[in-house]
Amino acid sequence: MTTTLDTPTPVRRPSRWRVLGWQLLGLALLLALWWLVTDVLRLYPPYVFPSPRAVGTEISYGLWGTGPQDGKLLAGIGNSLRRVLVGYAIAVLLGGVVGLLMGAWRPLRDTLGAYLTGIQSVPSIAFVPFAILFFGLNERAVLFVVILEGFIPVALAVSGALMNVPPALRIAGRTLGARGLDLTTGVLLPSAVPSILTGLRTAWSFAWRALVGAELLVSASASLGAQLEIGRNTANIALVIATILTIGVIGGVFDALLRVLETRVRRDYGLEVPQ
């Protein structure tokens, strides 16, 4: 009996320019629908659902306006970015060390890893009251929540990535005399870099969302969370939507940068074919 093996057909991914084109087309359609509902059909009053032009005006005032209340959106972006970058850097450092130890020592992974997985399921907003009572209504409370939300995904990603390294590499490292932490840092960690980068991207998403939630409740001065609170207190829904869009754009830009780095590393490791 003879068998025939079919040659697998390579999967062709759409080019990045084509994907970008479809994304821009979707954005244009969404804006057109928004304009149709608000400016043309006027299905809702402006104080309930403002038009794209009203939201754009709030963004322009917040970024480069000259009035006494203008420019606060730009200041909020600066302060929020500073807080999240500081918190994210600390979270990556702490999470990397803890994840490394969990990957090298199984009892720590079986105990601490289970606790971290449980804590990760708790929404970040639930930690804000604890942070306020412990640190007070100040920036340290915001940083605590950001670090906590970023630390756990990094620790679990590093630990999980080390566990998923092919056994052949582990055996080869031991054959060459590497043991314990030397085996982890010298053999397993370099092999786990692509998976760790995926965890770093997830940690960024967690930290960014935690930042906005904490700023909203702590009422941190000159922040994106404070802009949301100002919009709510003044019934300025255009400002609320403008701030939400700003949060989404900034989060998306940083996620895209991390995705580019992840793709570049995966190609260097031969895990992804260049398009």
pLDDT digits (tens, 9 = 90+) for 245-256: 999 999 999 999
Residue 104, token pair as written in the block = 């090298």
Instruction: Using pLDDT thresholds of 50, 70 and 90, give the confidence band for residue 1.
Output: very low
Residue 116, pLDDT score: 93
Q: Identify how many contiguous H helices and E strands the chain contains and give both numbers.
A: 12, 0
Instruction: Tell me how far apart the alpha carbons of residues 184 and 165 are, in angstroms, rounded to a whole number.
Output: 10
DSSP string covering 142-181: HHHHHHHHHHHHHHHHHHHHHHTS-HHHHHHHHHTT--HH
pLDDT at 3 over 50: no
Residue 69, pLDDT score: 58
Residue 170, pLDDT score: 82
> Which residues have CB under 8 Å from 264's CB, separation 6+?
none
Average pLDDT, integer, range 228-242: 91
Residue 189, token pair as written in the block = 């960690």
Residue 152, token pair as written in the block = 């756990």
Residue 229, token pair as written in the block = 């609170």
Query: Which one, of 86, 95, 89, lies nearest residue 142 by Cα?
Result: 86
Instruction: Tell me how far apart the alpha carbons of residues 137 and 92 are, in angstroms, rounded to a whole number.
Output: 25
DSSP SS3 for 18: helix
> Which residues have CB under 8 Å from 52's CB, separation 6+?
31, 34, 35, 38, 39
Query: Which one, of 274, 246, 252, lies nearest residue 204 by Cα?
Result: 252
pTM of the model: 0.84
Query: Which one, of 250, 258, 260, lies nearest residue 208 by Cα?
Result: 250
Average pLDDT, integer, range 52-76: 82
